Structure 1
Amino acid sequence: MSIDQTANARVVTAKVAHSSQHIPMGKRLTFRILSMTAIGLVLTLAAIAYTLLLSWQLEGGGAAINEAGSLRMRSYRLVQVIEHPSSEISATKEVIEFDRVLADLQQGDPRRPLFLPQTDAIRAQMHNVLTTWQSNMRPDLEALMRIGEGEQKQLALKAYLQKLPHFVDDINRLVSLVEVELAEKTTWLRLCQTALIFMSLAASVALLYLLYLWIVGPVARMRAGIAKMSQDELDVRLPIETEDEFGVLAQAFNHMADHVQSVHRTLEDRVSEKTAKLQAQNHEMSTLYEIAGFLAGPHAIEELCRGFLHRIMQRMHADGGTVRILDKHSDNMHITVHEGVPDHMIEQEHCIKKDDCLCGAATQQGVIVVRDFRMLDQQKRYRCAEEGYVSLAVFQILAREQVLGTFSLHFLKERLVTIEERRLLETLGKNLGAAIENQRLIAKEKEFAVSQERNLLAQGLHDSIAQGLNFLNLQVQMLDDALKRSDLSEIADISPLLKAGVQESYEDVRELLLNFRTRLQDSNLEGEMRNVVAKFQRQTGVHTTIDFRGTGAPLAPEQQLQVLFILQEALSNVRKHAQASEVNVVVENERDFSLRVRDNGAGFAMEDVALKGEGHVGLRIMQERAQRLSAQFEIQSESGTGTTIHLRLQRTERLVA
């Protein structure tokens, strides 16, 4: 997805979010679903509560019927208890129990539950039963309980039995009223349960319908619209039938469809535009890679500038160009290379002050682009405009944030430098500056290396040849004096000394020439060191051994050469001073590198070396080479026990080969 498409998608998303925040509460889908659920829940709970109430009332009425029915049995049981008194059953207890049942029927007992339906007829009939019991039946029973056995008791009992059927009828009438009332409540209970069933069915149907109307239908329409969009039917639109969330989504879908249709209409133009930009970027990258690859090569500064200018002019279709290097000491701008610029203009401007032209001003101002010289101040003289150039572009040559110079491009026609081209040329200017700086550093490094080698060569010549020639000069003077005096015996003594001095000087010169001509072949340090040891043994006749140990990585070529020079200098010192018959060379190449050269010669006192200081040129040369390696150099020697030199290069100072 492109940046524009992403931005438009974000705009549509923002519109959807904004619209969803302004939906009225009453029209929100969530509010309607919650309201419908709440109403259904309230109705269901009310119906269930009402059925529970009816069931509770029916249960209490059933218990009341049982208790009222038991009054009839208790009425006849009282007659039996009075007629046939028993110690187990007391008439008084039966009367008290009768009173308790009447009290329960009148007051009710929610814990059981037990209560009479509170209708007018039932309350009136209950009042009649209670009144008859308290005013007629109970006093007669109490009187019977007080009368002893006899005819009077029988007459009283007969009178009670005459009243009893009317009392039982009242009880039966109460029971009948309660039964009728409970039958009606049972009917209501069944009606409520039936209504609850139908209400559940209706609620389920209504819920399914509303879900389809509010959710399933809109989702299906949106899915159908998306399917058509995926089949490239870009003119599809969704109807906005509601103002809820799905209405907002339908509106957003329509906005998205409008955008997609608009993008599709301009897709070809966009593809062409993006393709052109991509081609320009590819061309820019190829130019950058090509010029960067050229600048990375081993070229002289003038060759670097010439190749750079030629490639830049081809890339920018420039008619002319120059590369100027800044002399910071004199603030002069020197033309290093040029192309397509008239020779007389180069002759006049081959060296100018940096403030006298636009190319020099760019060293301080940065990029200078002149689209048309004719639009500038005509009072000021521009050499480029006088030569017929219409446009000019000047860029800095930078290295480590320091301005080394500028390069300029001249155009005979009006030329606009785009932002991308300006960025590319600025980057290439930095690459050219880095390449120039690298070449300068390489030249300085070579100069420094040559200077060091010359210094070491001079020290070697001074230590050997100069001293030998001084000795020969002294012997020649003594020979001249002997010839003047015709002293043949002295001449005979001087002649062998002169011969020996000349031979020693010859050998010193030959050894120095061989040492300074030494080069490593294919970085084979072991082979070259073996050759040096073998040559030393042939020339001196001293038995010499060399032992290589370890499997470490090879040293870098520049470090190998310094190690070889140190070995040569050590063997040269053995030849000149040690008078040894055996020399052992041990090379250990592990993570650290060490070279140990030991002879069994005369040796020397370390105190004498300390007093001599820098006068011992051979040791000083080896120490200087060790310092260039950043290695540790040690000398161990005693008079009559030989000498050992030890060179140790730690792993942290090793260079990668």
Structure 2
Amino acid sequence: MPTSPISTSASLPMGKRLTFRILLTTILGLALTLAAIGYTLLLSWQLEGGGAAINEAGSLRMRSYRLATMLAQTSPTNIVQQELLDFNRTLADLQTGDPKRPLFLPQTTLIREQTKKVQNAWRITVQEQVLKVLAEKDPLLRRQALTLYEQDLPGFVQDINQLVSLVEIELAEKTTWLRLCQTALIFMSLAASVALLYLLYLWIVGPVTRMQTGIARMTKDDLSVRLPIETEDEFGVLAQAFNQMADHVQGVHRTLEVRVLEKTAKLQAQNHEMSTLYEIAGFLAGPHPIEELCRGFLHRIMHRMEADGGTVRILDTLTDNMHITVHEGISEKMIEEEHCIKKDDCLCGAAAQQGIILVRDFRLLDQQKRYRCQEEGYVSLAVFQIVTRDQVIGSFSLHFAKERIVSSEERRLLEILGKNLGSAIENQRLIAKEKEFAVSQERNLLAQGLHDSIAQGLNFLNLQVQMLEDSLKRNDTDEIRDIAPLLRAGVQESYEDVRELLLNFRTRLQDSNLESEMRNVVAKFQRQSGVQSDIHFSGNGAPLPPEQQLQILFILQEALSNVRKHAQASTVKVLIENGRDFSMTVTDNGIGFDLDTIHEKGEGHVGLRIMRERAERLSAQFTITTLNTVGTSIRLQLLRQERQVA
């Protein structure tokens, strides 16, 4: 549902922000408090200075009488003069004040006038009398001057008392003001505390309480709760956001059941799609013939899409013809007519070039064209490509008797399955070619073995037979006796060669145990040839796959066969090292041979050539070390990067 935009605290005017009001209230309260405290401090300072002034003024009375006593006792002049200096300094302090002590008189009119009166009385009357007493040498005149001083002294002391009284009255007023300020501070503190509590409740506690109440009601599934927007500050923005959230939650809650059902249906569809994908992918990964792959694929796709018919067509790239490989739910008449079409004919053929073709309703298409699917009674059609390595190798079609819309999810699924089917078909073709190539290679090796061993033996026998016929014509019995053993030896050797070839090409690994098979081959060689044979295994490398093990076993058989035929050896040693690299060394102590002479024979020695070809099929290194009368060593080394995983 549409909602109005929510103002954030950053977009509120400064005057409406709660933080601004709290800050302003704090500043005002602090200013009033500091002003009151400052005023009380000022009053305290004035009271302290006034008290010191009263003490100093009171001391003037004592000094006045002490001067009279000193003059009557005829004290030394210097002492009296020092007392006069102290008296004058005290009067000066009362006049100017001393902030350090502090000491000062209140600055009222009466106090200033009385202070001036005291100072004038001192300078004009009292001080002059004291100086006259000190200046007179005649005792009589000195006594008269002292009498005049004593007569003027009570009036001077009375002026001082009047000054002290005025100061005391002023300080009493200030003391009253100080007490009033302190009382006001107490009431201000109480009022400020009450005002602060009220403002906290009004600005913070109240909105937070209403917010907590609203959240508690919403927690109990009361989605109709709304908060009143009473202010325009941050809590007002928060209340507005809460109300909008409540509107949204209430709207979502109304449609929650529908949305849950929709999500559940969508999830079920996705699970069904994934299960279909896994099921068909698992079937296509099996070792099935191409026709069986296509039939199982079509059956599962039709069941998943609830189709009434379907076909799988394979493209012949040489003739650009589309051949129906398997079909289901399609009449024989239609199959007879469309079992072979060009890839641009009809909709199924056109899909190989144009891509996916979806027909929702044949009645909406051009009625001037002929559609065999429509004639069969089908209303909808879906055709998808069969692709492998970005090349189209065919198409599969689904026919529906009712109007059918293929969703985007189903379309994506069928595209993926079309690629999986293409990969499975291509894998089966590659497997067939690999088998054909393997059979061809084995037949080639067999032909070479027959040509280079049996054929040569038969050629030798042919010559001997011709010589036998010639000897019979000449009736040369001695020559016939010489030829007969040669014929028997040639036939026996050819027979053994045939048996050995048949044995080699029938060899199979039992339980992929290369070590036991190699021991069996070496033991059998020793029994048949009588040559002392020894085989030794070392290393703890991983086992080789069966195809590599079989080729190594063939090479060992061929090496031992060459030792039996040509080496005339008495001992043979076979060393197998299976570490990260794999190596096999076959060494005999026979007569050896000259490699250069062997290479000059053109095609070379048949056994050596067969072993080299098998080593090339393994991508292994094959080396021969031999010297006449010393023996021969044949080494096969399969490097770690050429090893396959078993």
* Structure 2 match to 1:419: 408
Give the SS at the match of 2:21. Answer: helix
Is 2:541–2:579's contact at 8 Å kept on the other side of the alignment? yes
* Structure 1 match to 2:303: 314
Is 2:50–2:103's contact at 8 Å kept on the other side of the alignment? yes
Residue 505 (structure 1) aligned with residue 494 (structure 2): yes
Higher mean C-alpha displacement, 434-443 vs 84-93: 84-93
Higher mean C-alpha displacement, 504-513 vs 344-353: 344-353
Distance 1:613 1:189, change over 3 A: farther
Q: Which amino acid aligns with 2:341?
A: I
Is 1:636–1:643's contact at 8 Å kept on the other side of the alignment? yes
Q: Distance in 2 between matches of 1:549 and 1:140?
A: 141
Distance 1:182 1:386, change over 3 A: same
Residue 200 (structure 1) aligned with residue 200 (structure 2): no
Residue 231 (structure 1) aligned with residue 207 (structure 2): no
Q: Distance in 1 between matches of 2:280 and 2:77?
A: 131
Match of 2:608 among 600, 611, 619: 619
Q: Distance in 2 between matches of 1:334 and 1:502?
A: 55
Is 2:9–2:17's contact at 8 Å kept on the other side of the alignment? no
Match of 1:536 among 525, 529, 535: 525
* Structure 1 match to 2:109: 120
* Structure 1 match to 2:164: 175
Is 1:322–1:407's contact at 8 Å kept on the other side of the alignment? yes
* Structure 1 match to 2:315: 326
Is 1:234–1:261's contact at 8 Å kept on the other side of the alignment? yes
Q: Which amino acid aligns with 2:193?
A: S
The alignment covers a number of residue pairs equal to 646
Q: Distance in 2 between matches of 1:99 and 1:213?
A: 65
Distance 1:606 1:333, change over 3 A: same
Give the SS at the match of 2:461. Answer: helix
Q: Distance in 1 between matches of 2:580 and 2:589?
A: 29
Q: Distance in 2 between matches of 1:400 and 1:133?
A: 129
Q: CA offsets, 1:204-230, max 9 Å, x none?
A: 222222222222222222222222222
Distance 1:151 1:330, change over 3 A: farther
Q: CA offsets, 1:411-447, max 9 Å, x none?
A: 1221111111111111111211121121122122222
Q: Which amino acid aligns with 2:301?
A: I
Match of 2:471 among 470, 477, 482: 482
Q: Distance in 2 between matches of 1:550 and 1:640?
A: 32
Q: Distance in 1 between matches of 2:160 and 2:392?
A: 126
Q: Which amino acid aligns with 2:150?
A: L
* Structure 1 match to 2:292: 303
Higher mean C-alpha displacement, 37-46 vs 566-575: 37-46
* Structure 1 match to 2:91: 102
Q: Distance in 2 between matches of 1:475 and 1:149?
A: 195
Match of 2:453 among 454, 460, 464: 464
* Structure 2 match to 1:639: 628
Higher mean C-alpha displacement, 258-267 vs 428-437: 258-267
Is 2:94–2:103's contact at 8 Å kept on the other side of the alignment? yes
Is 1:60–1:116's contact at 8 Å kept on the other side of the alignment? yes
Q: Distance in 1 between matches of 2:76 and 2:612?
A: 141
Q: How does 1:528-607 map to 2 (within 5 A)?
A: 528-607=517-596
Residue 649 (structure 1) aligned with residue 635 (structure 2): no
Superposed displacement of residue 512, structure 1: 0.5
Superposed displacement of residue 479, structure 1: 2.3
**5+ residue gaps, structure 2:** none
Q: Distance in 1 between matches of 2:555 and 2:22?
A: 95
Aligned identity (percent) is 74
Higher mean C-alpha displacement, 614-623 vs 504-513: 614-623
Distance 1:55 1:540, change over 3 A: same
Superposed displacement of residue 514, structure 1: 0.2
Q: Distance in 1 between matches of 2:361 and 2:389?
A: 32
Superposed displacement of residue 360, structure 1: 2.9
Q: CA offsets, 1:449-506, max 9 Å, x none?
A: 2222222222222221122122222222222333333332222222222211111111
Q: Distance in 2 between matches of 1:444 and 1:84?
A: 153
Q: Distance in 2 between matches of 1:614 and 1:170?
A: 156
Give the SS at the match of 1:330. Answer: coil
Q: Distance in 1 between matches of 2:174 and 2:426?
A: 110
Q: Distance in 2 between matches of 1:532 and 1:25?
A: 100
Match of 1:429 among 411, 418, 421: 418
Is 2:344–2:353's contact at 8 Å kept on the other side of the alignment? no
Q: Which amino acid aligns with 1:337?
A: V
Superposed displacement of residue 357, structure 1: 2.5
Q: CA offsets, 1:503-561, max 9 Å, x none?
A: 11111110010000000111111221111112111211111122222333322111111
Residue 360 (structure 1) aligned with residue 353 (structure 2): no
Match of 2:482 among 493, 497, 500: 493
Higher mean C-alpha displacement, 614-623 vs 502-511: 614-623
Superposed displacement of residue 96, structure 1: 2.6
Superposed displacement of residue 73, structure 1: 2.4
Give the SS at the match of 1:615. Answer: coil
Q: Which amino acid aligns with 2:345?
A: D
Q: Which amino acid aligns with 1:333?
A: M
Match of 1:256 among 245, 261, 266: 245
Residue 187 (structure 1) aligned with residue 172 (structure 2): no
Higher mean C-alpha displacement, 532-541 vs 623-632: 623-632
Q: CA offsets, 1:239-295, max 9 Å, x none?
A: 222222222222222222233233333332222222222221221111111111111
Q: Distance in 2 between matches of 1:250 and 1:592?
A: 76
Match of 2:278 among 256, 272, 289: 289
RMSD: 2.2
Distance 1:156 1:622, change over 3 A: same
TM-score by length of 1: 0.93
TM-score by length of 2: 0.95
Is 1:15–1:252's contact at 8 Å kept on the other side of the alignment? no
Q: Distance in 2 between matches of 1:24 and 1:613?
A: 104
Is 1:81–1:89's contact at 8 Å kept on the other side of the alignment? no
* Structure 2 match to 1:161: 150
Superposed displacement of residue 299, structure 1: 0.7
Q: Distance in 2 between matches of 1:277 and 1:586?
A: 65
* Structure 1 match to 2:430: 441
Higher mean C-alpha displacement, 271-280 vs 500-509: 271-280
* Structure 2 match to 1:59: 48
Residue 135 (structure 1) aligned with residue 124 (structure 2): yes
Residue 92 (structure 1) aligned with residue 88 (structure 2): no
Is 1:51–1:193's contact at 8 Å kept on the other side of the alignment? yes
